[in-house]
């Protein structure tokens, strides 16, 4: 079940709010509906989720109650291994076994007469949201070990933190220490609910009206064989995907933030206009903030951060982004994507950042957009080889436009309109103009105009979903 679906919007959400309000804003109702939300997509993995919740509750108490620092270290190490084990098995098992099979191929032939190419390793089904709730659990245990917070005494409240449906399957990655007081005493009010509704509708519109619309063209172009992918098409496809992934995940994050605000929780923003960044370092201060800050605090700084020699600092940066790429998926193209971003950040630290500072804003912005779009080709392609073909086409070595499909086939009026809206909303000026337009179109107080604008967006979204519009969700892959 995704937020941008008829089932969620018009069945699950109203039933949840009825139960939540009728129960006096009970956390029991929130937990029950969160488990229903998860079970709707993958009931087979509900036991795994419940076991991990109970395990982390017990480990948190053991870490806090350890008799000495070494005992605490043993407990937190056990917790890190126990949390990473399911993620490694389900997400990376096949990725790790395939090279092993290639290495041992000669043994298979000599011993059993089986050729390695005849051995198929089936991909394990990936538990929904496992990458996100694993990181939630790890930060919980590590913060207890660091004495940044106390272990939670209520199993129910810890379960609410890990399984809360607004952030369960796609984040943002919220740390327990930042919302512990909210979990213990959530603040539900009419004003917060109204603000949450508006944020949710904006995120829903970003997802359905922009991301979904450009997604169809992006998917069709990336599916073209190399002999049909011309240079103009490759650029149309990457521009569409650049908008799709931002408004798909950014919109979903806004929906999660809005939902959380409605039920008494204040989540921090996860995207801060990343496409207006002036450097790749700045981009990562703005893109998926909860993930980049998680890697900074729980991996980069423990590795030494920038308190070590320059060479070690560069190595730390590169390793962090290599693992960031691997976190997104068990494939070499994700590894290459992470390695490329790490290389950009190292390059800027070595001295290119000073060159950018002396360059004009147009040069800085152009550099970021080119770097981001080129690396999105690595991220979006199904294989590393496919990414190489796509980048080759972007570099001007694509198929002959005379034999490739016409660009007009992928640029209908709806796509052009969505692209225009996406570009406009990629900076803070878009939000300001949108609010001003709503206030001008509707007579009366400013708040009435903004509510009317939100209602109009919701109506457009409903029409789109009712019409069976294309509705993928990128981050379910992760």
Same domain, yes or no: 248 and 290: yes
User: Which tokens is 115 given?
Assistant: 């050729």
Number of structural domains, the chain? 2
Q: Is 328 a catalytic residue?
A: yes
In terms of domains, do 164 and 302 share one?
Answer: no
Residue 93 lies in a domain: yes
For residue 177, give Cα distances in angstroms to 139, 142, 155, 286.
Answer: 9, 11, 16, 22
Q: Tens digit of pLDDT per residue, the chain (478 long)?
A: 788 888 999 999 999 999 999 999 999 999 999 999 999 877 899 999 999 999 999 999 999 999 899 999 999 999 999 999 999 888 887 766 666 555 555 454 455 555 555 555 566 778 888 999 999 999 999 999 999 999 999 999 999 999 999 998 887 999 999 999 999 988 899 889 999 999 999 999 999 999 999 999 999 999 999 999 999 999 999 999 999 999 999 999 999 999 999 999 999 999 999 999 999 999 999 999 999 999 999 999 999 988 899 999 999 999 999 999 989 888 889 999 999 999 999 999 998 888 888 888 899 999 999 999 999 999 999 899 999 999 999 999 988 888 889 989 999 999 999 999 999 998 887 666 655 655 565 555 556 656 777 788 888 888 888 777 677 767 655 5
Answer yes or no: is 72 within a domain. yes
Domain end position, chosen among 150, 185, 220: 185
Cα separation, 61 vs 206, in Å, equals 41
Residues 6+ apart with CB under 8 A from 428: 273, 276
| Contacts (Cβ under 8 Å, ≥6 apart) of 417 | 213
226 & 141 share domain: no
Same domain, yes or no: 236 and 348: yes
77 with 209, same domain: the answer is: no
> Can you give the residue range of the structural domain that contains 203?
192-465
Phi/psi of residue 237, each to 5°? -65, -40
The region that residue 265 occupies, defined by phi over 0 for left and psi between -120 and 50 for alpha, beta otherwise, is beta
Instruction: Please give the model's pTM, rounded to 2 decimal places.
Output: 0.89
Within this chain, do residues 207 and 296 fall inside the same structural domain, yes or no?
Answer: yes
DSSP string across 20-32: HHHTTS-HHHHHH
CA distance 54 to 158: 9
Tell me, yes or no, whether 233 and 291 share the same domain: yes
Report the C-alpha gap between 32 and 36 in whole angstroms. 6
* Whether the Cβ atoms of residue 206 and residue 323 lie closer than 8 Å to each other: no
CB 166 within 8 A of CB 259: yes
473: in domain: no
Please check whether residue 222 is in contact with residue 390, taking contact to mean a CB–CB distance below 8 angstroms: yes
Q: Would 45 be classed as within a structural domain?
A: yes
Phi, psi of 230 (to 5 degrees): -85, 165
DSSP assignments along 344-396, one per residue: HHHHIIIIIHHHHHHS-HHHHHHHHHHHHHHHHHHHHSSSHHHHHHHHHIIII
3-state secondary structure of 230: strand
Q: Given phi > 0 = left and psi -120 to 50 = alpha, else beta, which region is 288?
A: left
User: Would 212 be classed as within a structural domain?
Assistant: yes
> What letters, b where the CB count within 10 A reaches 16 and e where it falls short, cover 368-393?
bbebbbbbbbbbbbeeeebbbbbbbb
Same domain, 174 and 275: no
Q: How far apart are CA 289 and CA 143, in angstroms?
A: 19
Find, among 275, 288, 57, 264, the residue nearest to 170 by Cα: 288
Question: Is 128 within the bounds of a domain?
Answer: yes
Whether 269 contacts 249, CB under 8 Å? no
254 shares a domain with 180:
no
Same domain, yes or no: 197 and 57: no
As given in the structure block, the two tokens for residue 298 are 């729980």
288 inside domain: yes
Which of 328, 341, 365, 408 is the catalytic position?
Answer: 328
Q: Are residues 124 and 262 in the same domain?
A: no
Q: Is 139 exposed, middle or buried (0-12, 13-18, 19+ CB in 10 A)?
A: buried
- Among 170, 185, 200, the domain-final residue is 185
Domain identity same for 286 and 429 = yes
In a domain, 247, yes or no: yes
Is the Cα dihedral 177, 183, 185, 190 positive or negative? positive
Q: Which two tokens stand for residue 49?
A: 């989720």
The sign of the CA dihedral 297, 129, 244, 205 is negative
- Cis-peptide, bond into residue 344, ω within 30° of zero: no
Sign of CA dihedral 224, 230, 232, 234: positive
Task: State how far the alpha carbon of 413 is from the alpha carbons of 401, 408, 409, in Å.
Answer: 22, 10, 11
3-state class of 113 per DSSP?
Answer: coil
Last residue of a domain, one of 185, 200, 221: 185
């Amino acid at each position: 079940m995704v937020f941008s679906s008829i089932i969620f919007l018009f069945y699950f959400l109203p039933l949840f709010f009825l139960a939540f309000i009728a129960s006096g804003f009970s956390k029991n109702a929130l937990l029950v509906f969160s488990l229903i939300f998860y079970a709707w997509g993958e009931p087979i993995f509900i036991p795994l989720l419940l076991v991990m919740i109970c395990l982390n509750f017990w480990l948190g108490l053991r870490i806090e109650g350890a008799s000495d620092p070494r005992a605490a270290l043993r407990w937190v190490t056990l917790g890190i291994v126990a949390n990473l084990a399911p993620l490694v098995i389900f997400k990376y098992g096949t990725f790790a076994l395939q090279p092993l099979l290639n290495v041992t191929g000669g043994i298979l032939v000599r011993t059993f007469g089986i050729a390695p190419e005849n051995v198929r390793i089936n991909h394990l089904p990936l538990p929904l949201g496992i990458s996100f709730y694993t990181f939630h659990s790890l930060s919980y245990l590590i913060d207890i070990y660091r004495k940044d917070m106390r272990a939670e005494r209520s199993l129910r409240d810890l379960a609410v933190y890990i399984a809360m449906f607004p952030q369960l399957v796609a984040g943002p990655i919220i740390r327990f220490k930042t919302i512990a007081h909210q979990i213990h005493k959530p603040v539900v009010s009419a004003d917060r609910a109204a603000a949450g509704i508006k944020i949710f509708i904006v995120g829903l519109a970003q997802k359905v009206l922009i991301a979904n619309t450009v997604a169809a063209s992006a998917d069709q172009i990336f599916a073209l064989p190399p002999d049909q992918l011309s240079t103009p098409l490759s650029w149309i496809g990457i521009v569409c995907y650049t908008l799709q992934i931002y408004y798909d995940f950014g919109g979903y994050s806004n929906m999660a933030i809005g939902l959380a605000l409605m039920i008494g929780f204040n989540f921090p923003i996860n995207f801060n206009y990343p496409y207006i960044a002036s450097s790749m370092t700045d981009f990562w201060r703005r893109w998926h903030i909860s993930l980049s800050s998680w890697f900074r605090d729980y991996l980069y700084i423990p590795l030494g951060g920038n308190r070590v020699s320059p060479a070690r600092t560069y190595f730390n940066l590169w390793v962090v982004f290599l693992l960031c790429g691997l976190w997104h998926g068990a494939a070499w193209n994700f590894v290459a994507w992470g390695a490329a971003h790490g290389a950009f950040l190292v390059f800027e630290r070595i001295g290119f950042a000073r060159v950018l500072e002396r360059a004009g804003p147009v040069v800085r912005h152009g550099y970021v957009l080119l770097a981001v779009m080129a690396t999105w080709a690595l991220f979006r392609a199904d294989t590393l080889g496919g990414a190489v073909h796509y980048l080759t086409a972007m570099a001007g070595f694509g198929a002959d436009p005379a034999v490739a499909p016409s660009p007009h086939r992928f640029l209908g009026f709806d796509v052009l309109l969505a692209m225009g809206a996406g570009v406009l909303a990629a900076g803070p000026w878009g939000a300001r103009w949108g609010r001003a337009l709503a206030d001008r179109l509707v007579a009366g107080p400013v708040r009435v105009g903004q509510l009317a604008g939100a209602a109009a967006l919701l109506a457009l979204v409903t029409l789109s979903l009712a019409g069976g519009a294309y509705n993928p969700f990128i981050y379910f892959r992760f």
